[in-house]
Structure 1
Amino acid sequence: MLLRRSSVAHKLVSSSVAGRSSLFKLGGCSLFASQTAALPLLPDAMPSAREEYADINWDELGFGLQPTDYMFSAKCTAEEGFSRGELNRYGNIELSPSAGVLNYGQGLFEGLKAFRSEDSGGLLLFRPEENAKRLQMGAERLLMPSPSVELFLDAVKKTVLANRRWVPPPGKGALYLRPLLLGTGAVLGLAPAPEYTFLVYASPVGNYFKEGLSPIHLMIGDGVYRATPGGAGDVKTIANYAPVLKAQREAKRKGFTEVLFLDSVNNRYLEEASSCNVFVVKDNVIATPATRGTILPGVTRKSMIHLARNLGYQQVEERLVSVDELADADEVFCTGTAVVVAPVGSITYKDKRFEYQTGSKTTGQRLYSALTGIQMGRLPDDMDWMVEID
């Protein structure tokens, strides 16, 4: 199994590294440990090796859990550090009631996608090393050991290959991959868990929002905040998501698609929605809120900024974006691994509804076409973002 990339970083993924290295130790678990011992090739007896596609209706695929065949898991203990990991049948896991993740929220997750190339039919991953690095950043913030980039990529690659029959046909969706890093060791007092588990599971998905590619409609939360300065708003920790559910449900009850949050200090500057970053366009100037420790640094967000500059937009700004700018903006769109690029038809703020341009000639649509073209193999990958798996 090889990763077809020319860079040294990606050649390392297919190497077998016996040694371990770390920046420092946490209860014997090496932070950013570099174990990458390769797993055996998948046996032909696996369903994923026998069948080209799973028997589901790909045309009705939404964004919901569809259990697949296999998941990957690796343990980190004080005595052994990170194990090389293994593939097991997808299913429930056993946890102590005093596991760190259950008692103190010591858990992180990532989200990335695998695609079938329209050109070759091969399997492609979009910028997985960015997710690996973000997981490491989050692990450092929560005082958790983290798998190395090499181990992360190896685990993701093996999970895709084991579940390849669940990768949708070109143009029908993607295989969503959910890496998890959990404090699974038992702990009673407030302290880091003594053992950790790194998991990767997968599910085929279609569009995230029920609107599909149609415009979504946002409501700005009033007096409800997603993050505070000095907190962990820029970390993809599980603890950031349950607190937004009440505001999200209220928005949906009122007929909106999502909540757009303001900053918690001035109650004036845009931050992000529950599950995606936001961009505002005015006179061909593209602006997105600067992360500043309270906004998740999205992989799709980062890619959009790069793509926009490559497509000739002279001003692409990461800065404070005031809620007042919504009144005369030309266009607003959201980005994320799950949503990709979602056009915003309207935003409602304090009973004022602002409407925006949508459709084929907008900036958001142009960026969406460029991004998905690269992801699906229709357009040249000049940025070397895609990783092809054999």
Structure 2
Amino acid sequence: MTVTIDWENLGFSYMKLPYRYIAHFKNGQWDQGELTEDATLHISESSPSLHYGQQAFEGLKAYRTKDGGIQLFRPDENAKRLQRTCDRLLMPQVPTDMFVEACKAVVRANEEYVPPYGTGGTLYLRPLLIGVGDIIGVKPAEEYIFTIFAMPVGNYFKGGLVPTNFLIQDEYDRAAPNGTGAAKVGGNYAASLLPGKLAKSRHFSDVIYLDPSTHTKIEEVGSANFFGITADNEFVTPLSPSILPSITKYSLLYLAEHRLGLTPIEGDVPIDNLDRFVEAGACGTAAVISPIGGIQHGDDFHVFYSETEVGPVTRKLYDELTGIQFGDIEAPEGWIVKVD
């Protein structure tokens, strides 16, 4: 079969591919799981995932390398994060080996849809875990479905890596102080839809959320993690129990220290002390890094490096990480899993 796709103009949208993975949890254990061509999940109308939000998901990518090979970037870390989310929502953990092997199986089955090297495109994988069964009342499900589907996606930045502006909205919180902010659950994203729409209506890329307790410290940027670069060569990211622990962020923390010689710092990022940063950005799986040009907070607009140009450190971090992901730069041990 020959796939006809305009690889240079892929966006970030759903595309039904031939195969996906599905496994069922019943009677206290997972079955063997299998690949299927059925893109529809058949579940009870009373499934707890539909009514009470007992569901979790992940996001990761497969990359085509220069020699034609395919590799995953730190899928074991996605498995571990999903396991932490499972613990928070009283869902059965998906074992790491099961998770990684299922990802590899989906990539192999849809290999023709992995974008060619050099296009900037990747095969995006969406693992999803949902509570199912005939349950009414707020309690955990007894049965679960774990599935992984995939789609080719393009380079996040159509015109290259460019800064955009973000809006701080004090009247909305992404998560409660002791809620599910550190878990990758759909409810966190549902809560961001309205403030995100309002920010975009004012021509900002997205919302920057402050800490829910005091509204004085930066926590997250849309659905990504914030980072700032100081004049003293520090790589600073917020630290809070209500922030989703980004695999991209922790990868950048490591690379900032061990490849660029920066000092990594996790701590408070007060909004009244943004002058300490000469560069800033948001990081996550979709864009890797989104450079932040400026931040609007009330009547104040703060510009970091530039509204039109990417800072030199941000550029180096982006090139280093994407070089590792596409196999052009040697990766730290254990970061890359080959799909053979």
TM interval, short-chain normalised: over 0.9
Map of 1:73-222 to 2, 5 A cutoff? 73-78=22-27, 81-118=29-66, 120-172=67-119, 173-208=121-156, 213-222=161-170
**CA-CA distance at 1:314 after TM superposition:** 3.9
Retained in 2: the 8 A contact 1:289–1:320? Answer: yes
Deviations 1:139-193 (A, max 9, x none): 0110000210010011100000011111101132100000001001221011101
- Give the drift of 1:356: 2.0
Superposed CA deviations along residues 231-263 of structure 1, whole A, max 9, x for unmatched, are 110000111110110000000000000101000
CA RMSD of aligned residues (A): 1.5
Give the letter for the 1:68 counterpart: L
Contact in 2 for aligned 1:207/1:213 (Cα 8 Å): no
In structure 1, the partner of 2:281 is: 333
Q: Is the 8 A contact 1:360 1:366 kept in 2?
A: no
CA contact (8 A) 2:234 2:262 kept: yes
Task: State the match for 1:59 in structure 2.
Answer: 8
Gaps in structure 1 of 5+ consecutive residues: 1-49
Distance 1:265 1:211 in 2: 38
The 5 A counterparts of 1:298-309 are 298-309=246-257
Alpha carbons of structure 1 residues 210 and 251: separation in structure 2 relative to 1, 3 Å? farther
* Structure 2: runs of 5 or more not aligned: none
Residue in 2 that maps onto 1:16: none
Contact 1:73 1:197 in 2 (8 A): yes
Pick the aligned partner of 1:363 from 313, 318, 330.
313
Q: Secondary structure at the match of 2:5?
A: coil
State the AA in 1 paired with 2:150. Answer: A
Partners of 2:257 and 2:242 lie apart in 1 by: 25
Equivalent position amino acid for 1:388 in 2: K
Residue 146 and residue 211 in structure 1: after superposition, are their counterparts in 2 closer, same or farther (change >3 A)? farther
| Count of residue pairs brought into register by the alignment | 336
SS at match of 1:330: strand
The one-letter code matched in structure 1 to 2:318 is Y
Distance, in Å, in 1 between the alignment partners of 2:266 and 2:101 is: 33
Match of 1:383 among 323, 328, 333: 333
Which amino acid in 2 is paired with 1:242? A
Asked if the contact 1:219–1:256 (Cα under 8 Å) also holds between the matched residues in 2, the reply is: yes
Residues 211 and 101 of structure 1: CA distance in aligned 2, closer, same or farther (over 3 Å): farther
Query: Could you tell me how far 1:90 is from its partner in structure 2?
Result: 4.8
Partners of 1:324 and 1:338 in 2: how far apart?
29
Equivalent position amino acid for 1:74 in 2: A
Q: In structure 1, the residue corresponding to 2:13 is in which secondary structure? A: coil
Give aligned-pair identity as a percent. Answer: 40
User: TM-score, normalized by length of structure 2?
Assistant: 0.95
Deviations along 1:310-360, one digit per CA (max 9) or x if unpaired, are 124342100011111224521111110111011111111112111122546
